[in-house]
């Protein structure tokens, strides 16, 4: 069994436990009662003409306690305080890990972050059931993660349509040329290139350079994983990333606000003009 398959098996068990407490009609009612979602697509520059979108490298800053590859990263006793620091540093979106078994996250973390910031929030989890999308909206998320490697095309289309019907956006995560083609064919507007192979946890930063040329200019492109310092930020920016998603480097930094500011400044300076 791959790492991804193992994680998803646990996700399904935990999902069934939550669903036994609040059924489908209940979670749909909670989602309908939530305040309208913020526009994460616009926050990431998607509302701009593609030839102008590269004026700023945007940062999706992540609340992340641990990971399957690195183990414990940070205690994060107050995720709201960390998220507020990210927002003060100029982050465009806050990502919150809600998977518990491998990442130490929870929906309580999502609630805390949503109450603390005014910018869009991404619920980062392994979405395998429509229930989780309603759940994300009910807890104030504006953006959900859809991993192409974990979903077939019919399910991906259903999830994208539901996400948009709820007023949210989806970060569609890819790792291979085939997955990028699938994401594009299904109409994804925000595509992430994860340089970490979720089936083996191996990281190949060069994979971003190989794949970015396959993504149309009207799509927001997010570089995921592999950011340890400013040199990594500059690398992704030089290749044309519209945004980077960073967790480990920020949660381990003594001054996350300053780290976000530094990444934005360095990445923006490194970005070339983007061809139309």
Catalytic positions: 62, 64, 124, 173, 194, 224-225
143 beta partners = 122, 169
In angstroms, the CA 106 to CA 97 distance is 7
Token pair in block for residue 28: 């749909």
Token pair in block for residue 270: 């490194």
The SS3 of residue 89 is coil
Whether the CB-CB separation of 172 and 144 falls below 8 Å is answered with no
In angstroms, the CA 65 to CA 250 distance is 11
Displacement of CA 69 from its chain's centroid (Å): 18
Phi, psi of 174 (to 5 degrees): -130, 165
Secondary structure letter of residue 75 according to DSSP: -
Whether the CB-CB separation of 200 and 7 falls below 8 Å is answered with no
Q: Which residue bears the tokens 């003594």?
A: 254
In angstroms, the CA 222 to CA 192 distance is 4
In angstroms, the CA 225 to CA 175 distance is 11
| The pairing of beta strand 93-97 with beta strand 71-72 | unpaired
């Amino acid at each position: 069994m791959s790492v991804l398959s193992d994680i998803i098996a646990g996700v399904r068990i935990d999902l069934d436990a939550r669903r036994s407490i609040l059924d489908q009609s209940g979670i749909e009612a909670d989602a309908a009662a939530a305040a309208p979602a913020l526009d994460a697509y616009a926050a990431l520059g998607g509302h701009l003409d593609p030839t102008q979108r590269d004026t700023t490298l945007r940062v999706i800053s992540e609340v992340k306690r641990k990971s399957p590859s690195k183990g414990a990263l940070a205690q994060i006793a107050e995720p709201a305080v960390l998220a507020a620091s990210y927002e003060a540093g100029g982050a465009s979106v806050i990502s919150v890990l809600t998977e518990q078994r491998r990442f130490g996250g929870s929906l309580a973390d999502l609630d805390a972050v949503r109450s603390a910031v005014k910018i869009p929030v991404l619920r980062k989890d392994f979405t395998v059931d429509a229930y989780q999308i309603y759940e994300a909206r009910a807890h104030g998320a504006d953006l959900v993660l859809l991993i192409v490697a974990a979903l077939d095309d019919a399910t991906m289309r259903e999830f994208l349509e539901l996400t948009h019907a709820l007023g949210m956006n989806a970060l569609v995560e890819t790792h291979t040329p085939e997955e990028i083609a699938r994401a594009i064919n299904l109409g994804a507007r925000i595509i992430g290139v994860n340089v970490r192979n979720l089936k083996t946890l191996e990281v190949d930063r060069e994979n971003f350079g190989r794949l970015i040329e396959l993504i149309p200019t009207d799509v927001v492109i997010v570089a995921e994983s592999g950011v340890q310092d400013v040199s990594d930020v500059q690398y992704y920016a030089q290749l044309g990333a519209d945004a980077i998603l960073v967790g480990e480097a920020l949660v381990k930094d003594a001054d996350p606000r300053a780290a976000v500011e530094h990444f934005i400044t360095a990445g923006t300076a490194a970005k070339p003009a983007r061809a139309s």
